[in-house]
Amino acid sequence: SAVISQKPSRDICQRGTSLTIQCQVDSQVTMMFWYRQQPGQSLTLIATANQGSEATYESGFVIDKFPISRPNLTFSTLTVSNMSPEDSSIYLCSAWVRGERGDTDTQYFGPGTRLTVL
Amino acid sequence: DAKTTQPTSMDCAEGRAANLPCNHSTISGNEYVYWYRQIHSQGPQYIIHGLKNNETNEMASLIITEDRKSSTLILPHATLRDTAVYYCIVSGTYKYIFGTGTRLKVLA
């Protein structure tokens, strides 16, 4: 298994400001992703965090709003820019961790960052 | 759209086996079946996955039908701590598409 940590765990922010969320993985990582979970909803994939290059965004998500960095294999950040109340959600990072002893890779999730925008 | 269909909710008595079904009739040959659960808005927790053989680990068993069009996650002795939303995901890539999952409530 893998341990994925996120900081901050929660925050309350004002409209128009930005928040950067950090994600750290303690294992060998192949892929990293960022998800959003709006209140009462399931998880939606925001983007793939690519090491050393621009993130790959899913339909409906753009770099100007959700800039992502991944400076090394096990660390990534997601920024929620120019926030509005509609951005109030839980933001989760995930990582595919290399399988041990011939096992297949497995995706693990961080604990999430609960964001409230006033 | 998610490639899986799950019942919206289920109840299970504490100590009994919880059997959670998942329909994935359009699954492709290279796609795995993954199960995760999410307890009260925490990050999803990996449970088990399989390709075509039945799998068992310390948390659960996964039964996949021979035609691979459906599967069942079995929690052999459900406890109150197993109350959660359970997601069945079919994927052949690194990307997941989450459906709405099954909200399992374990009753004392």
User: Per-residue DSSP letters for B54-84?
Assistant: -EE-SS-EEEE-TTSSEEEEEETT--GGG-E
Q: Which of B21, B20, B33 is nearest to B68 (CA)?
A: B33
Question: Which chain B residue's Cα is nearest to A32?
Answer: B94
Q: Do A33 and B43 touch (CB under 8 A)?
A: no
- CB contacts < 8 A, A to B, total 46
Are A80 and A92 spatial neighbours (Cβ–Cβ below 8 Å)? Answer: no
Tokens 């052949």 found at: B92
**Gap from B31 CA to chain A (nearest CA, Å):** 13
pLDDT tens sequence across A69-118: 999 999 999 999 999 999 999 999 999 987 766 667 889 999 999 999 99
DSSP, res A67 = -
Q: Do A107 and B94 touch (CB under 8 A)?
A: yes
pLDDT tens sequence across B26-66: 999 889 999 999 998 799 999 999 999 899 999 999 999 99
A109 in reach of chain B (CB within 8 A): yes
Q: Give the strand pairing for B102-107 and B9-13.
A: parallel
